[in-house]
Amino acid sequence: MGTLAVVGGGAIGLGVAWRAAEAGWSVTVFDPAIGSGASWVAGGMLAPLSEGWPGEERVLEFGAAALARWPEFAARLDAESGVNVCVADETLTVALDAADAADLRTIADWVGGRAAAGGGALDGVGSDLRVLDRAGVRELEPALARTVRAGLLATAEPAIDNRRLLDGLRKACAAAGVRIRAEAVENLDLDFDQIVLAAGAASARLRPELPVRPVKGEILRLRHRPGATPVPRRVIRARVHGRPVYLVPRGDGIVVGATQYEAGFDTTVTVGGVRDLIADAEAILPGIGEYELSEASAGSRPGSPDNLPLIGRLTGRLVVATGHGRNGMLTTPLTVDAVLGELAGSPLPAARSADPRRFSTPSASDFSSSLGGIR
pLDDT of the residue at 128: 82
pLDDT of the residue at 362: 45
Q: Domain spanning 3-40+163-211+306-369: which CATH class is it, in words?
A: alpha beta
Task: Give me the phi and psi of 204, to 5 degrees please.
Answer: -70, -20
Largest interatomic CA distance in the chain: 67
pTM for the model stands at 0.93
Boundaries of every domain in the chain: 3-40+163-211+306-369, 89-158+214-303
Structural contact between residues 151 and 126, judged by C-beta atoms closer than 8 angstroms:
no
pLDDT of the residue at 1: 83
Q: Domain spanning 89-158+214-303: which CATH class is it, in words?
A: alpha beta
User: How far apart are alpha carbons 121 and 63 in whole angstroms?
Assistant: 9
Exposure class string for 101-139: b at 16+ Cβ within 10 A, else e: bebbeebbebbbebbeeeeebbeebebebebbebeebbe
In angstroms, how far is CA 90 from the centroid of its own chain? Answer: 16
Mean pLDDT by 10 residues, the chain (375 residues): 96 98 98 93 96 94 96 98 98 96 95 84 76 97 97 97 98 98 96 98 96 96 97 96 94 94 92 96 96 97 96 97 96 98 97 94 36 31
